[in-house]
Amino acid sequence: MTYTVTAEGLGKSFGGHAVLEHVDLAVETGSVLALLGPNGAGKTTMVRILATLMRPDAGTATIAGHDLLTDPVGVKRSISLTGQYAAVDEKLTGRENLEMMAQLLRLSRRAARARAGEMLSEFDLADAGDRRAAKYSGGMRRRLDLAISMLAQPRVLFLDEPTTGLDLRSREQMWSTVRRLAGEGVTVLLTTQYLEEADQLADTVAVLDHGRVVAQGTPDELKARLGAEVVRLHFADQAAYERALGGLDPVRTDHRLHTIDVATEGTAGEIFQILGRLQAGGAPADKVSTYRPSLDDVFLSVTGTRTGTRTGTGTNTGAASVVRTEPKEMAR
Amino acid sequence: MSMAYALTDSRVMVTRCVRRSLRDPEAFFTALMLPVVLMLLFVYVFGGAFDGSGAYVDYVVPGLIVLCAGFGAGTTAVAVATDMSNGIVDRFRSMPISGSLVLVGHVVASLARNLVATALVIGVGLAVGWRPTAGPAGWVAAAAMIVFFVLALSWLAAAVGLLAGSVEAANSFTFVLMFLPYVSTAFVPAQTLPSWLRGFAEHQPFTPIVETMRGLWMGHTSTGAAVGHEAWIACAWCAGILAVSFAAASWLFRHRTAA
C-alpha cells in the first residue's frame, strides 16, 4: 500500500488553545479521505497546514514524497487547494481567472489561453466563461475554483468543505466531479461536516473532534463498529424510559419520544436478552424496531464521548457509547 | 525562483490589479472626477479669498496632486484589505510562486492610477490658467518627485491595508491622508496658520514634498526660498516612508497569512 499523504503527530495551538493535538493521518495514493468533524474540530487548520499555508507547532508530514517542513516548494508543486471560500477573483471573468492562474503556473500566454478553454468546457462553464465570476452562482463559483485547482494537474487535491452552502443539485454535481477526479488518479483529502458527503465520496473517513482523530476507517468499517443493527426501543411513558436508561448502553436517546437506541449484532437471542432484562427491571419496552447504523450514528457515538452526557461503560461492539438527548442538534 | 519567473508573475499580478481597477466603475469614476472637481473648487471658489501674489492656481496645483494621491492611497489600502479578506491570497500562497507578488501588483497598479490622476490635475490646471515657469529639467525633476512620493505612499497604503484587518478599517486611512494636506502648506502658506499649527505644518512630510514641486515648477517655494533644501527633506521623507512601509508590508504579509 502506498500513501501520498502521511502526517505524524501534527499539533497546532492558537494562543494556548490546542486546535490540533497529535494528529496522525495517511491517505492512500489515488483514494479519497474525508476529514469529518463539527465546526471548530480543526479540519481547516489541518488542511491549511498540509497545504503549506500554516506551519505546525509539532509533527511532520510528507506529501507526494516531499517533506512539508523542509521542502514546502516541492509540496506546493504537487498540490492544489480549494478553500472554504471560493478563491476566485470576482472582478475577473471565469476565463481570465483561469488564464491568470495558468500563467502563474508557467504556461505561456497562448498555452494558458488554450488550457483555460479546455477547463471551462471540462467543468461545464463554457457558456459562462466570459462573464465575471461575481455573477456566478455558488455552484458555478465552486466549479471554477475546482477548475483552477486542476489546472496544474496536481497529485493531491485538498478540498475544504467543498459543498458547504451549495444547493442540492450543485452539491451532487460537485460530488460527481470529485468522483471523476478521484477516478483519474488524483489523491483527494476533503473536509466536511456532512456525513452523507463522507459516505458518498470517501474511501476512508477520519473523524476529527476537538483536534484529535477519534475514529478512522472505511465508512463500512466505522458503521460496523456499532454492530450490524441498531435496536430502537420505544417506551410507553417517561417513567419507564428513565428506569430503562439505567440498565442500557445506548447509542442515542430521545427523551421526548421515549426511545433508546442500542447497538447490537442483530441476532434474535441478543434482542430477546435485552427485552428480558428490561422486563425484569420493571421497564418493559412498548415497541421495538431496528435499523442499520448510519455514519451519523457513528459520528454521534465517537464525537459525543467528550461533549455528550456519557452513561454506561463500554459496549460489546467496542465503540464508545453515548447519550444524546437532542439528536436534531447535529450539524447537518 | 528565477528572476524571469518573478518578472512574469509580477506582470500577471499587475495585469490583475489594473483590470480590477478598471472594473470598479464607482471608484474609477471618483478617482477621475476628484482632480477636476477639486481644481475647479479651489481655483474658482476658494481662490478668490486667497490674497497672494499671482493666481491661486499657481500655488495650489502641487497641493491638489498630493490630495488626489492621498485618495488614491486609500483606494490601494482598501484593495489590499479586500484581497486579504478573500480566499484568493491563500490560493496564491499555496502555489509555487512568491505570494507577496500580490503586493507588487497592487503597488504598481496604485502607481499607475495615481499617475493618471496627477496627469489629470496638471492637464486641468493648465486649462484653467496654471503657468509654470519650469524648463524641461524642472519638469523631469518634478515628475521624479511625484513618482517617488506616490511609490512611498503606495507601499504605505499596502502596509495599512495588511494591518487594517478589515475593508472598513482600511477605508478610514483615506480620511487621514486626505486630511493631512490641509494642515500643510498645500493650500495656504504656513505663516497664515496659528502658531501651534504652524509647527506641525512645517514639519510634516506633505509640506516639503509640496514645496519641492512648487519650487521646481514656479521657481520658488511658498516662502520664496530656493528649492534645494526642501527637496532633500522631501526625498528623505519619501525614502524613510518607503523603507519602513516596504519592510512593514513584507513582515505583515508573512505574519498575517501564516497565522
- Boundaries of domain holding A308: 226-329
The last residue of one of the domains, among A217, A241, A274, is A217
Rounded to the nearest 10°, the torsion over CA B192, B197, B199, B200 is: -120
Element (H, E) at A311: none
- pLDDT at position A324, please? 36
Rounded to the nearest 10°, the torsion over CA B166, B172, B178, B184 is: -110
Which residue in A27, A146, A2 sits closest to A80, CA to CA? Answer: A146
Q: CB-CB: which of B20, B90, B97 is closest to A81?
A: B90
DSSP annotation of B46: I
Q: Do A148 and B91 touch (CB under 8 A)?
A: yes
As a whole number of angstroms, the distance between CA B69 and CA B55 comes to: 23
Same domain, A155 and A240: no
Arithmetic mean of pLDDT over chain B? 88
Element (H, E) at A6: strand A3-14
Task: Look up the CATH number of the domain holding residue A171.
Answer: 3.40.50.300
Q: Quick one: how far is CA A109 from the chain centroid?
A: 38
Q: What mean pLDDT do residues B69-89 have? A: 89
Count of CB atoms situated within 10 Å of the CB of A325 = 12
Q: What is the DSSP string of A145-166?
A: HHHHHHTT--SEEEEESTTTT-
Which residue in A316, A327, A4 sits closest to A156, CA to CA? Answer: A4
- Calculate how close chain B gets to A188, using CA atoms only, in Å: 16
A128-174 tens-digit pLDDT: 999 999 999 888 998 899 899 889 889 999 999 888 888 888 888 88
- A112 in Cβ contact with A120 (< 8 Å): no
- Residue A46 — φ and ψ, nearest 5°? -60, -50
Residue B178 has pLDDT above 90, yes or no: no
A301-311 tens-digit pLDDT: 777 643 333 33
Q: Do A104 and B9 touch (CB under 8 A)?
A: yes
The last residue of one of the domains, among A195, A217, A239, is A217
* Bridge-based pairing state of the strands A32-36 and A187-192: parallel
Q: What mean pLDDT do residues A267-281 have? A: 89
Q: Do B88 and A88 touch (CB under 8 A)?
A: yes
Residues of chain A with Cβ-Cβ distance to B258 below 8 Å are 53-55
Same domain, A55 and A146: yes
Q: What mean pLDDT do residues A242-271 have? A: 85
Q: CB-CB: which of B16, B24, B91 is closest to A81?
A: B91
Q: Which of A44, A45, A77, A89 to mutate to test the interface with B (most CBs of B within 10 A)?
A: A89
Task: Establish, for the pair of chains A and B, how many residue pairs have beta carbons separated by less than 8 Å.
Answer: 66
As a whole number of angstroms, the distance between CA B217 and CA A173 comes to: 64
As a whole number of angstroms, the distance between CA B100 and CA B255 comes to: 12
- Calculate how close chain B gets to A179, using CA atoms only, in Å: 22
Please tell me which residue, A21 or B90, carries the higher pLDDT value: A21
Same domain, A95 and A241: no
The last residue of one of the domains, among A171, A193, A217, is A217
Place of cell 501520498: A4
- pLDDT at position A326, please? 34
In sequence order, which residues have a C-beta less than 8 Å from that of residue A77 and are 6 or more positions away?
A: A66, A152, B96
Residues of chain B with Cβ-Cβ distance to A14 below 8 Å are 259
Q: CB-CB: which of B23, B86, B97 is closest to A104?
A: B97
As a whole number of angstroms, the distance between CA A105 and CA A86 comes to: 19
- B95 in Cβ contact with B12 (< 8 Å): no
* Bridge-based pairing state of the strands A229-234 and A287-291: antiparallel
Element (H, E) at A303: helix A295-307
Same domain, A199 and A251: no
What the block records as the C-alpha cell of B204 is 510634516
ipTM for the complex? 0.84
Residue B210 has pLDDT above 90, yes or no: yes
What the block records as the C-alpha cell of A172 is 451532487
Rounded to the nearest 10°, the torsion over CA B256, A46, B88, B9 is: 80
- How many domains does chain A fold into? 2
Count CA within 13 A, CB hemisphere, residue B39: 25
DSSP annotation of A41: S
Q: What mean pLDDT do residues B232-237 have? A: 94
| Predicted TM-score (pTM) above 0.95 | no
**Which residues of chain A are at the B interface, by a Cβ-Cβ cutoff of 8 Å?**
14, 48, 51-55, 73, 76-77, 79-81, 83-89, 91-92, 96, 100-101, 103-106, 132, 148, 152
**Cα dihedral sign for A310, A311, A314, A319?**
negative
A44-90 tens-digit pLDDT: 899 999 999 889 999 999 999 999 999 998 999 899 988 777 789 99
- Calculate how close chain A gets to B177, using CA atoms only, in Å: 27
Same domain, A151 and A199: yes
- Residue A270 — φ and ψ, nearest 5°? -65, -45
Same domain, A190 and A290: no
Q: Do B90 and A79 touch (CB under 8 A)?
A: no
**Which residues of chain B are at the A interface, by a Cβ-Cβ cutoff of 8 Å?**
5, 8-9, 12, 15-16, 19-20, 23-24, 86-88, 90-97, 257-259
Residues of chain A with Cβ-Cβ distance to B20 below 8 Å are 89, 91-92
Q: CB-CB: which of A14, A52, A100 is closest to B12?
A: A100
Same domain, A50 and A196: yes
Q: Do B87 and A85 touch (CB under 8 A)?
A: yes
- A253 in Cβ contact with A259 (< 8 Å): yes
Q: What is the DSSP string of A46-106?
A: HHHHHTTSS--SEEEEEETTEETTT-HHHHHHHEEEE-SS----TTSBHHHHHHHHHHHTT
B136-159 tens-digit pLDDT: 999 999 999 999 999 999 999 999
Residues of chain B with Cβ-Cβ distance to A132 below 8 Å are 23
Same domain, A211 and A87: yes
Amino acid at A63: I
As a whole number of angstroms, the distance between CA A294 and CA B179 comes to: 63
Count CA within 13 A, CB hemisphere, residue B242: 13
Q: Which of A104, A106, A107 to mutate to test the interface with B (most CBs of B within 10 A)?
A: A104
Q: Do A91 and B23 touch (CB under 8 A)?
A: yes
Same domain, A78 and A164: yes
Q: Do A81 and B94 touch (CB under 8 A)?
A: yes
Place of cell 450543485: A170
Q: CB-CB: which of B16, B87, B94 is closest to A52?
A: B94
Place of cell 477520519: A206
Residues in chain A: 332
Count of CB atoms situated within 10 Å of the CB of A312 = 15
Place of cell 477516478: A183
Question: Which residue in chain B has the smallest CA separation from A72?
Answer: B96
Question: Which residue in chain B has the smallest CA separation from A47?
Answer: B94
Residues of chain B with Cβ-Cβ distance to A152 below 8 Å are 95
Residue B2 has pLDDT above 50, yes or no: yes
As a whole number of angstroms, the distance between CA A239 and CA A260 comes to: 13
Residue B256 has pLDDT above 90, yes or no: no
Q: Do B16 and A92 touch (CB under 8 A)?
A: yes
Q: CB-CB: which of B12, B86, B258 is closest to A85?
A: B86
Confidence of residue B52 (pLDDT cuts 50, 70, 90): low
What the block records as the C-alpha cell of A304 is 459525543
Same domain, A171 and A304: no
Same domain, A211 and A249: no
- Calculate how close chain A gets to B11, using CA atoms only, in Å: 10
Q: Which residues pair with A41 in a beta bridge?
A: none
What the block records as the C-alpha cell of A88 is 476566485
Same domain, A195 and A300: no
